[in-house]
Structure 1
């Protein structure tokens, strides 16, 4: 595994390896997998890629796989990653939110719909089941990428430039939502006014008053410095994230069945690792900004969370029916 800004160190390391083990190094082919991150080297998504690079070489010895990571939006944002991977160029691996894939593969929106999971344990059991197998196959067919693991697992909450403490104060709130139509439907149902805006344009949209905030995880809130323009963070916990780790089919197809099996094993474990890292880290950065008095945290009472669910559920169920996803939805809900 290597980061793009450590190229000289990598070269020195390879030279040292060749000197120490000339016959082994000469016999083993090195294949580069280009991973793209919108964030820095410490972000859980970036750490997921690094973990994959470590594990995939542990689980097979046929080739040396070098995971080269481009950081801080050097390759764009998630829709760009998807386009590159689908075309089989520039980017081989990326974590992409289902909402950013929904235009290409509409059914994937159900994977991380609001209010979908009862709790984190239920989410993890659903991911361990075969509930998404049909959708995973559809992603390969329609987008030419393959889910090899699942990161995420943290809750999404409201971010605003004014205090939101309850459902009444949510009414009329203009917020940015993800591109999958279900997100706009849910927030319309609870009385807010949603808009679909590209992630890299959200900061300026809040700053200029186009929207009054967004919904996001704690980590994204602090990493993107949204607190500078929206210093209120309201714990609605309206969604638990599922963040698939994707590999392009072109890259996957380059390897033998033995290496492909190692990729799938390493991807599954790296996704779980990424979830654990994000869950462990998600509150620390937010607490730091609260300590500096840059952020005020609010929390919905149980009654407000229940009201949110009551208003949103009919929209969710109608979406599931219209999309003909009742079978997948029922399978997810049936997981115990």
Structure 2
């Protein structure tokens, strides 16, 4: 049998075999992060992938790796700079490259979540993002709120004068240690895994963390009060490697930013719901929530904060305290 390669029928058949489907997947972005599957950051990352796939007719997919399964935070940042990782969720760790990233988590710099949003989405936030892009080669495309850190104890504490040498655990962050000393407490670094037992046996009397961690670590079993110090409000960025970003067309860059905006709005809904649920859970377990004199805490912490921030961001922090 002789095949006529020039017949219209063969041409149509050949085109059908070699044509690329309209919805073919062109790219898969690898997004690694440290949170577990139940965390709002993970759910927002999945939402980002769903939205980006829809906006690009399936051409760009996002594969999400929770629980540090793609690497620890610093490893992921390094991978993004080398081009082996596309995306991660990261925050003040970026100050290793971009000093302004320290502004993401300065004690008492933000009086409310609305104040934090104003900074993160405003001129200061733009300066932070620009420096991260330039000096870390990583592009922030959205930000997620983190739960404010609160002080738990076995008695109500409403002002710094009531701390009176309170033995408390803090993370191994010099700024945190110095701030709590300036407030009148007796802080000491300790691994998080040791906190519950230390509270149980009286080695320490207090600790500070967001409500979600107070709940998940079962601190309600060994602490009776949540003092609403809200001493650290902070945010964290959803980021994309600048190397990956530069491979995208303008239309796909627009799609990434739109998907990121939708993921940010979705995460905020989850965040607000989780705050209410965590408080209700802790109250059901018998914890008492205590309002504190926020301005008094902020005033007492100011000098220690300013002594611990670098000269580049100190004028900005002074401005935030003055608001």
Which TM-score band (shorter chain)?
0.7 to 0.9
Conserved 8 A contact 1:107-1:325: yes
SS in 1 for 2:35: coil
Work out whether 1:69 is the aligned partner of 2:64: yes
Secondary structure of the corresponding residue to residue 111 of structure 2? coil
Other-structure match for 1:247 = 240
* Structure 2: distance between partners of 1:126 and 1:116: 10
1:277 to 2:273 alignment: no
Determine the C-alpha separation between the residues in 1 that align with 2:278 and 2:197.
22
Contact 1:33 1:65 in 2 (8 A): no
Per the TM alignment, residue 151 of structure 1 is displaced from its structure 2 partner at its CA by 0.7
Q: 2:168 aligns with which of 171, 174, 195?
A: 174
Match of residue 21 from structure 2: 23
Tell me the distance in 2 between the aligned counterparts of 1:192 and 1:102.
28
For structure 1, the 5+ residue unaligned runs are 1-21
Q: What SS is found at the alignment partner of 2:143?
A: strand
Distance 1:189 1:222, change over 3 A: same
Asked whether 1:165 is paired with 2:161, we answer no
Partner of 2:77: 82
Unaligned runs of 5+ in 2: 1-19
* Conserved? CA contact 1:113–1:183, under 8 Å: no
Residue in 2 that maps onto 1:110: 103
Aligned length: 299
Deviation at 1:43, TM superposition (A): 1.6
Aligned 8 A contact 2:228 2:292 in 1: no
In our comparison, the structure showing a higher alpha carbon Rg is 2
Determine which of 284, 295, 308 is the counterpart of 1:306. Answer: 295
Which of residues 310, 313, 317 is equivalent to 1:325? 313
1:267 matched to 2:255? The reply is no
Separation in 1, partners of 2:78, 2:282: 35
Task: Report Cα offsets for 1:70-119 as digits up to 9, x if no partner.
Answer: 23343455444434444443x53332242x33344332112331211232
Cα distance in 2, alignment partners of residues 87 and 178 from structure 1: 29
Whether 1:216 and 2:209 are equivalent positions in the alignment is yes
**TM-score w.r.t. structure 2 length?**
0.77
Q: CA contact under 8 A between 1:159 and 1:215: conserved in structure 2?
A: yes
268, 282, 288: which one pairs with 1:297?
288
Preserved contact between residue 152 and residue 206 of structure 2 (Cα < 8 Å): yes
Deviation (angstroms), 1:299? 1.4
Task: Give the match's secondary structure for 2:149.
Answer: strand
Question: 1:47 offset after TM fit, Å?
Answer: 1.5
Distance 1:288 1:310, change over 3 A: same
Corresponding position of 1:207: 197
- 2:29 is equivalent to residue 32 of structure 1: yes
Contact 2:95 2:102 in 1 (8 A): yes
Going from structure 1 to structure 2, the CA distance change for 1:223 and 1:104 (only over 3 Å counts) comes to farther
TM-score w.r.t. the length of structure 1 is: 0.74
Counterpart of 1:96 (choices 90, 99, 104) is 90
Whether the 8 Å contact between 2:196 and 2:217 is mirrored in structure 1 is no
